[in-house]
Every structure is written in C-alpha cells, then in structure tokens.
C-alpha cells in the first residue's frame, strides 16, 4: 500500500514516494517510523519497491551483493534481475508461487528506477518497461497517473510533476500518506542529484 512515481521531463528525472506503511488495519506514519523513506540509492540509480515491506532490505542487500549489475537500459535491467532471481530464492528464501498457470516464477515485487538513463519499472516476472514521461506503482497509482496526465503540460519539471502524482495518491488512497520523499537527477549528463522531503 503506497504511492510511488517516476517522471521524466526535459533533462530531469524524478522519483517520489509517500512515507506510510501499513500492517493490515494498522498504519505506520512517518512520525513513528524511524526509516520512513521508501527510496534507496544504488550507484547512480534511485530505486523504490511496492509490495511487502520485507522486500526493501532484501532487494538492497541482494543488489549490493551482485558483482555485475547494470541498471542503465531495459535489457541491462532485465539481465540484472534475471541474475538476481536465483539469489533471492537461495539466499533470502523468496517464495515464488503466484498463479498456477504463470509462465515463469515470480520475484514477488514491483520496482521503479530513476537514473540518468531514464525511468523504468520491473514487475514480478522480471518484465521491464521504460517510460517516456511518467509512471506509478502501489495502491495509489491510478490517482497518481491521472494527476500526472492532467498536469504534464503545465508542470515546470519532473520534480513538480512527481510531487503532483504523490499528492494525488495521498489525497485519495487510504494506503498512502504524506510527507513524501523526492529525488531528482539529470538525464545522461552526470549524477548531479537533489534530495528533498516534502512536508504535509
């Protein structure tokens, strides 16, 4: 239960996420959570996960252990997550079962990546998408995508549009709440980045 967005506009990419976690009917807000940031940095990439809270530390640890990782393109991300899948099973005890007729084993997570090479999503069967403008995952994704669609032309940049998406998710989705965290990077010109926590 979350709202996480990635945006590409002009020469900037942005990734933003709400800061609420939920455990059944109980919610854990940023006021009570010492580690409320759902986005982590690896090399020049910013990464966030929707799904079980257990995925966060598992993915950070698994990616850090991977000797040859590349998140710079759709094929490179696919190969990285393909190599990661057996490690998730063997070292972290991932349960891969979903539907009986699924064509492949599931990695059980949905991931967004923003970096100087673009904005990407990885889904449970390691399918990788690259986006031209924006995308969202989590329980507030529909609200976020609608808001970003409506605001794309008027937004001053990727960060502005990402904030709009997360705010819409937090306004209407019971599983999402402010504050949000926001990271930006320049496309293909280096790794100049900015981090910001946006208050309620």
Say which residue, 101 or 186, is predicted with more confidence.
186
What's the pLDDT tens digit per position in 27-46? 999 999 999 999 999 999 99
Joined together, the tokens standing for residue 136 give 């969202």
The percentage of residues in the chain with a pLDDT greater than 70, rounded to a whole number, is 94
Q: For the whole model, what pTM was predicted?
A: 0.91
pLDDT at residue 167 greater than cutoff 80: yes
In a domain, 170, yes or no: yes
Q: Which domain holds residue 88?
A: 1-21+51-184
pLDDT computed for residue 191 by the predictor: 45
* Per-residue pLDDT reduced to its tens digit, 61-76: 999 999 899 999 999 9
Q: How many domains does the chain have?
A: 1
Residue 36 inside a domain? The answer is no
CATH code for the domain in which residue 138 is found? 3.60.20.10
Has residue 126 been placed in a domain? yes
Return the C-alpha torsion angle 48, 17, 26, 139, nearest 10: -80
Q: What are phi and psi of 90, to 5 degrees?
A: -80, -40
Q: Are 165 and 147 in contact (CB under 8 A)?
A: yes
DSSP per position, 71-140: -SSHHHHHHHHHHHHHHHHHHH-------TT-SS-----EEEEEETTEEEEE-TT--EEEESSEEEESTT
Round the average pLDDT of the chain to a whole number and report it: 93
Question: Residue 156's pLDDT is what?
Answer: 96
Residue 42 belongs to a domain? no
């Amino acid at each position: 239960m979350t709202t996480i967005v990635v945006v590409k506009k002009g020469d900037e990419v942005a990734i933003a996420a709400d800061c609420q976690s939920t455990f059944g009917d109980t919610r854990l807000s940023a006021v009570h959570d010492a580690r409320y940031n759902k986005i982590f940095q690896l090399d020049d990439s910013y990464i966030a996960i929707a799904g079980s809270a257990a995925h966060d530390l598992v993915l950070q640890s698994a990616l850090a252990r991977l000797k040859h990782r590349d998140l710079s393109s759709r094929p490179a991300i696919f190969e990285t997550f393909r190599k990661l899948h057996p490690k998730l099973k063997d070292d972290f005890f991932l349960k891969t079962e979903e539907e009986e007729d699924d064509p492949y084993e599931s990695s059980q997570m949905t991931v967004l990546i923003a970096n100087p090479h673009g904005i990407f999503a990885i889904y449970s069967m390691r399918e990788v998408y690259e986006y031209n403008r924006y995308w969202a995952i989590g329980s507030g994704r529909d609200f976020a995508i609608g808001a970003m669609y409506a605001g794309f032309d008027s937004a001053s940049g990727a960060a502005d549009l990402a904030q709009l998406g997360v705010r819409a998710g937090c306004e209407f989705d019971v599983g999402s709440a402010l504050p949000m965290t926001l990271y930006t990077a320049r496309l293909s010109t280096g790794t100049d980045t900015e981090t910001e926590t946006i208050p309620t």
